[in-house]
Structure 1
Amino acid sequence: MRNLPAWAAVVMLLSGGAILGVAGEEPTASPSPASAASPAAAQGAVPPVPNEERLDPRDVACLVDPSALEDLKKQRQALQAKEKEIEGREAELRAREQALIEELKKIQEVRSDIDKVDSARKRENDEKVTKLVETFETMSPKAAAQVLASLDDALAVATIARMATPRLAKVMNVMEPKRSTRLTELLAGVVRVRDIAPGKAYSTASDDAAATTTPGTGIRKGGEKNNDEQNK
């Protein structure tokens, strides 16, 4: 080998190192087809269902039972019909409530109009009575008695109730006895009512006069007949 050229020696050394490297590597086993497919199979497999999560066969049968589904449908329809009925009743109640509110408003308006008319009537009567009193104060007792005798009971009572006592006594003394007695009784009734309810307007004397004597009977409250009937 000493007679070999230098390049030949280099080639031999390289060849020997390659042979030694190949000899030192251990053979590796090729994976089997079964072991290569196992990870993919493991990923696609469905995990087992726990016992507590499994559906009861009876529940499954109920879900697919046509009669059960029909019953549920009927119950839903019944509930919807009930809801519509309740909504209809609520709407009816709201309509009635609104109608009542409108009626109350009308009643209040009528009452207000009545109060206005009543107040105007009272003022008118009050003015009329005031003028009569002023007139009677300037008249002679006999002339005043004749005018009072011709007046309506209510107006006559309201007038004499405002007259001064001395002046009224003179007028009543010259008035016809029956008429004087009648007005005196009515005036006493007005005074009693006024004592019970102070501040009552004289214009309500007609109501007091009507309450004192029962129409058509000549009987006052308490069962006594008035003087007109007694004198007959």
Structure 2
Amino acid sequence: MAKKDNRLTTELAEPQSKRKSGGLLKFFTWIVLPIMTVVAVLLVVATLMNTNVFDLGKKAIGSLPFVPSEEQQAKDAVVNNDSKMVKLQAEMQEKEAEIAQLQKKLETTITEKDKLATEKEQLQFEIEKLNREQDQVKRDFTDILSTFDKMSPKAAAPVLIKMSDTEALRILTNLKPDKLAAILEKMSPQDAAKYTEMMTKQ
């Protein structure tokens, strides 16, 4: 009984697989093989006639209305290249304008820097000149002070009274206390009081 069942299932399964393989076999036999045979024959004939099948194929494809021809592709490429060139030239001009502006700024900065350096040199020269003059004035004042220090109080008092109050006060404040006291003794009481009051306010 079991053997009978196995035979039935195998018999049922065989026709289905035969049907499937039979349909595929028919498709290859009736459609694919004839097409391949025709193509092979055409290629052999074209080779014997010295005809390039691939060039003919390109021409046929190029003549189709929805496929652009090589001339049209070349024209499109030229138009694209022209638009790219125009764009690149515009960018180049912008960059050149930026470079010109930066160059101008750089030149202005260099000019200002040179001007500031010149002004700095002039100011440095004037400072040195003023320092020399100040040193000279200090030396002169030291000489004058030394002279007054050597003078007798009787001779120094009338000279100080004849000088401007500022100069006299400057000399009196830099004298030694004993020399100052001796000179003030030789002045009139009004002049001595005036100079003493001025020295206390300093």
Query: Given the alignment of the two structures, is residue 138 of structure 1 paired with residue 142 of structure 2, yes or no?
Result: no
CA distance in 2, matches of 1:81, 1:62: 27
CA deviation map 1:157-205 (0-9, x unaligned): 443333111212332352615751574257x2xxxxxxxxxxxxxxxxx
Tell me if the contact between 1:129 and 1:158 (Cα under 8 Å) persists in the aligned partners: no
Matched residues, number: 146
Change (3 A) 1:40 1:125: farther
CA distance in 1, matches of 2:164, 2:51: 121
Indicate the RMSD between aligned Cα atoms, in angstroms. Answer: 4.2
Q: Cα offset for 1:155?
A: 3.9
Give unmatched runs, 5+ long, in structure 1.
1-31, 49-55, 189-232
Q: Cα offset for 1:65?
A: 9.2
Change (3 A) 1:165 1:35: same
Q: Secondary structure at the match of 2:108?
A: helix
Query: Given the alignment of the two structures, is residue 78 of structure 1 paired with residue 90 of structure 2, yes or no?
Result: yes
Match of 1:45 among 54, 57, 66: 54
Q: Normalising by the residue count of structure 2, what TM-score does the alignment of the two structures yield?
A: 0.53
Q: Cα offset for 1:152?
A: 4.4
Q: Normalising by the residue count of structure 1, what TM-score does the alignment of the two structures yield?
A: 0.47
CA deviation map 1:100-152 (0-9, x unaligned): 22112211211221122112211211121111111112223243232223334
Q: Percent identity?
A: 16
Match of 1:108 among 120, 142, 155: 120
Tell me if the contact between 1:130 and 1:159 (Cα under 8 Å) persists in the aligned partners: no
CA distance in 2, matches of 1:117, 1:35: 110
The residue that corresponds to 2:133 in the other structure is: 121
Match of 1:169 among 169, 181, 185: 181
Tell me if the contact between 2:46 and 2:53 (Cα under 8 Å) persists in the aligned partners: no
Whichever residue aligns with residue 54 of structure 2, its letter is A
